[in-house]
Structure 1
Amino acid sequence: MKKKVLSTILAFSMVVSALAGCGSAASGTTEATTDTQTSGETQIQTQEAAPAETQAEPAAELTGIDAIIAEAETMTMEELAAKAIEESNGKTFYGVGNSSRGKSALPVFIEYLQSIDPSYSMEFEWQQPKNNKIFEQLTSDSLKSEGTFAMTLIQDGNQIQTKMVDTDILKTFVPKEWAEANGTTADAFSGFLPLQTLNKVFMYNNTGSATFTNCWDFVYDGSHPLFMGVDSEIVGKNFLMMLTEDKYATWLKEAYDKLDDTKKAYFEPVIKEMQADASDLGLGANGAYALAWIKLWVNNYNEQTDDGPICNTLVDASATDQSGLLVYSKLRSVEESATVSVNNINVAAYQDGYTGIGGYGYCHYLFLTKNSPLPWTACAFIAFMTCTEAGFEPWGKDMGGYSANPNVAKEIEEKFQHSNGGGDEFPAKNDRGYDWWTTTGELVLEDPAYCSEVSFTVGSWIDVLDHYAPGE
């Protein structure tokens, strides 16, 4: 049955691809290539210039929100603040986001504007829709001539790409000082503006005898890691789709190669079984290793409703030998007792000899709405959160959340000392930082463009996998 579903998926995908290819040929467009540069705490993508012989059509004159964004991208924080004061004094600012901490950042932003003009005042409301309703809410608001929401802080790169950016509902604004800190310009930057990267990492309870020295151990016989399911938090599905990208599939292959013969023998039949699917899905040389890991993970993880309960379970002495994949920052809120302690868990990637992926990272992105009622204030607020330590502090006070501005990231670390967050007493809380996690720690990073590209093929393949049901 799964083969029939997969065949249908692939057949439809090829038809769509063919039609898209015909459209491109007819319009005479060419594909742009991308370069990825790493600077400080973020990855910047820039498009290469078109060949000299290609005559680009004159750019259309920008109007409305696009013209405001273009002008705002040339302005300093102080200049944006002046525009915000002029625009929103005495008004109410409405924001919507996946993170409730936007509500904490807004009063600090208002205080900053009042330091420039003591007579300034602004009321605000911040909404945090549940059950992934933020996309529906923003879509509905986009139908108005003037929207309610001035801006949004939003996650899930795949749905942002397909539902919000491709449909022109959300607009990217790149603050001048953020671009300069990352060694680029607003014109050269492509992609979404990240406020921060969050990481979810593999952890396990250490009160028993179980050890997890390889990322394949989390999908080995009898292992049922605690995890927010791919249906309850879609960034988890993005993580699985990203594993099929060549870089991460290679990481999985390299980790497999370091397993002992007994474990290799357990995984080898599944890997062989996945060879045909990997070929059908157009994956690279190591795609079967990624599909095997994904299949075993979905077949075996113990689905939970939230990362908080996962953390509470794992740090309890009674959770002997259990494991999970959860937001790293949850360790910050653990209340120590006779039976509960951060020292009852190990962060897998921190252990000597651990091999393979240590977890995954995804971003909170910032956008203006296309019909923002207060666009200048939205631009100033976005610049404040991404370019100042005070603006990022509501998120930066936690370990495992990394500012996409290297200057701000440095200031946050100097203030909160996350690298020594637990000291000698709680070593699991000593955050090794973005640079370590994305290299040595082998953190899998969400790429919205790749997720969007494979969401119908790989994503649909994931959807038909069997899920673990405890007790059955």
Structure 2
Amino acid sequence: MKRLTGLMSMVLALFLFSGLSLFAGGAQEESAAPAVDEKPMTHEELVAAAQAEGKVVVYSITSRIANAAEAFTAKYGIEVEDTNLKDFELIEKISKEGSTGAVGADFVIAQDGGRVMGELINLGYLYNYVPPTMKDIIPEEFQNPLSFAFINKVFIYNDEAAPVPPFDNIWALTTPEWAGFFQFKNPFQEGVNANFLTMVTKPEIADEIAAAYKEYFGKEIRLTTPNAGYEWIKAILENDLILTTSDTTTAETIGIKGQNKPNNAGLFVFSKFRYKESKNLALEPMMNVKPFSGFYYPIYALMDSNAAHPNAAKLFIEYLLTEEGFAPWGKDLGTYSSNPNIPLQPLDHPMTTWVEILVAEDPAYCFENRADVEEFLNEYIY
């Protein structure tokens, strides 16, 4: 998508992420999703109602939903029809079904907070549901809209060619030494990447970027764009930023051993760090970059207002928030359940670490400002 669609004039309801529990020390703004008044059920009653429906349909931006579906069916005897979609495909499909009243998904696993809030939740196509068994477990700040998990994208480099991190300030990526050596998935092919570039234009983050410029170059930044965030985006694009089609390709290209390129890095999902062992790649994250080392974003579990199997959907959402249900994601590093009781992989870092060094996705800001950033990007990418 080259631009956000369906922009509306309604004001997003905001609430402040307090940064408690899993995200201690971090803060972000979020929009609240409406909940539907329903008769409360015990877990046993929900299981019985779900089994009576016999089936659940889910659209998901993560292919690992298929593994969770198989385990869910084995546990409860409920058929799962799962469809893996790209983030923009899911949003467009739900929007079309919601606007026509067509029956499709019972619930979704979705990302791209700005569009999910503005185009799906605010229009009533999706609504919030928190399993009663999870209300005292999932931190309150992750309950509305319900965050199923969090993903992080981090600056990662080839640690064979460069024994130590090749940069510690994002402005290094704008210098001649880094021309053509930094990779990032095309933001027009993944909404969360467009959201990250939107977030760096947020005034308080742009101020940090301006301070990092002064620290790196020893002088105040001179603006040719609205703020330092836009200026950084412009500078990396003009410095031959390599726009890739997937984070997997990025990781594999950067991590190949035998390269004699000390300046060789990208910004991609931390979960690809597992390729260090599984694919024998030379990969290492950079966790001390100023003013940030990457970004993180939520993945939401939300009910479809046209659900044909609502109880089965609720049971599946509950299951995904347990250690058993989260196992397809929890077996690797780089995906973090909103349930703080689910343990991390040994080589991973807790979100209390990541939140201090990564940019958080603010759906409200992204919804209101991404079209402007995408218009700016159009000048360079197309």
So what's the TM-score if we normalise by structure 1?
0.69
Q: Any conservation in 1 of the 2:194–2:370 contact (CA below 8 Å)? A: no
Q: Is the 8 A contact 1:47 1:190 kept in 2?
A: no
Q: Match of 1:53?
A: none
Please give the alpha-carbon distance, in whole angstroms, between the structure 1 residues aligned to 2:339 and 2:315. Answer: 16
Structure index of larger Rg: 1
Name the SS for the 1:140 alignment partner: helix
Pairing partner for 1:463 from 353, 374, 378:
378
Contact 2:294 2:359 in 1 (8 A): yes
Taking the aligned partners of 2:257 and 2:142, their CA distance within structure 1 comes to 48
**1:398 and 1:376 mapped to 2: Cα distance?**
30
Q: Distance in 2 between matches of 1:220 and 1:79?
A: 62
C-alpha distance in structure 1 between counterparts of 2:97 and 2:58, whole Å: 12
* Structure 1 Cα separation of the partners of residues 92 and 139 of structure 2: 35
Per-residue CA deviations over 1:131-182 (Å, capped at 9, x if unaligned) read: 8322222223335656131111111112112221122111111223333224
Instruction: Output aligned runs, 1:6-21, within 5 Å.
Output: none
Answer whether contact 2:61 2:87 (CA < 8 A) is retained: no
Per the alignment, residue 296 of structure 1 pairs with 235
Alignment of 1:151-300 (within 5 A): 151-182=107-138, 184=140, 191-208=144-161, 211-223=166-178, 224=180, 225-261=182-218, 264=219, 271-274=221-224, 277-278=225-226, 288-299=227-238, 300=240
2:214 and 2:31 mapped to 1: Cα distance?
A: 36
1:373-398: CA deviations, max 9, x gaps?
00011111111112x10011111112
Which runs of structure 2 are paired with 1:39-78 in the superposition (5 Å)?
39-41=20-22, 66-68=36-38, 71=39, 74-75=40-41, 77-78=43-44
Distance 1:322 1:402 in 2: 27
Q: Distance in 2 between matches of 1:291 and 1:122?
A: 49
Structure 1: state its 5+ residue gaps.
1-15, 25-30, 49-61, 114-120, 279-287, 422-430
Q: Report the Cα distance in structure 1 between the residues aligned to 2:13 and 2:83, rounded to whole angstroms.
A: 37
Structure 2 Cα separation of the partners of residues 83 and 247 of structure 1: 48
Q: Deviations over 1:307-336 (max 9, x none)?
A: 111111111124422111111111213456
Residue of structure 2 in register with 1:437 after alignment: 354
Q: Counterpart in 2 of 1:327?
A: 269
Paired with 2:37 and 2:15, the residues of 1 have a C-alpha distance of 26
Query: What is the letter of the counterpart of residue 249 of structure 2?
Result: P
What do residues 57-110 of structure 1 show as CA deviations (whole Å, max 9, x unaligned)? xxxxx9xx9334xx3xx5554443233123x23xx3221111111111122223
Distance in 1 between residues matched to 2:62 and 2:364, nearest whole Å: 22
Relative to its length, the structure with more helix (as a share) is 1
Aligned to 1:99: 62
Distance 2:118 2:243 in 1: 27
Tell me the SS of whatever aligns to 1:230.
coil
How many angstroms apart in 2 are the aligned matches of 1:333 and 1:204?
13
Q: For 2:255, which of 293, 296, 315 is the aligned residue? A: 315
CA contact (8 A) 2:15 2:31 kept: yes
Q: How does 1:402-421 map to 2 (within 5 A)?
A: 402-408=336-342, 412-413=343-344, 418=345, 420-421=346-347
In 2, the alpha carbon distance for the partners of 1:211 and 1:155 equals 31
SS in 1 for 2:18: strand
The answer (yes or no) to whether the contact 1:170–1:367 under 8 Å persists in 2 is yes
* Cα pair distance change 1:129/1:325, threshold 3 Å: same
Distance 2:117 2:30 in 1: 17
Amino acid at match of 1:273: L
Question: How far 1:45 sits from its partner (Å)?
Answer: 6.8
| Cα deviation 1:404-457 (Å, max 9, x = unaligned) | 12123xxx22xxxx2x33xxxxxxxxx222110111xx2111111110121233
**Aligned sequence identity (%):** 26
Match of 1:84 among 39, 44, 50: 50
126, 133, 146: which one aligns with 2:82: 126
Aligned pair count reads: 366
Is the 2:14–2:29 contact (alpha carbons within 8 Å) kept by the matching residues of 1? no
Q: What residue in structure 2 maps to residue 118 of structure 1?
A: none
| 1:447 matched to 2:348 | no
Q: Tell me, what secondary structure is at the counterpart of 2:81?
A: strand
Q: Is the 8 A contact 1:41 1:403 kept in 2?
A: no
Checking the alignment, whether the CA contact within 8 Å between 2:29 and 2:362 is kept in structure 1 is no
Q: Judge conservation of contact 2:174–2:235 (CA < 8 Å) in 1.
A: yes
Q: RCO greater where, 1 or 2, for CA within 8 Å and sep 6 or more? A: 2
Q: Provide the rounded CA distance (Å) in 2 between the counterparts of 1:207 and 1:178.
A: 44
- Cα 1:130–1:241 shift into 2, 3 Å: closer
Q: Deviations over 1:27-74 (max 9, x none)?
A: xxxx966333123225797999xxxxxxxxxxxxx9xx9334xx3xx5
Query: Deviation digits for residues 241-299 of structure 1, max 9, x if unmatched?
Result: 111223422332343333254xx5xxx6xx4233xx42xxxxxxxxx221211212333
Q: 2:365 is paired with a residue of what secondary structure?
A: helix
Q: Which residue of 1 aligns with 2:335?
A: 401
Paired residues of 2:29 and 2:363 also in contact (CA < 8 A) = no
Cα distance in 2 for partners of 1:33, 1:303 equals 33
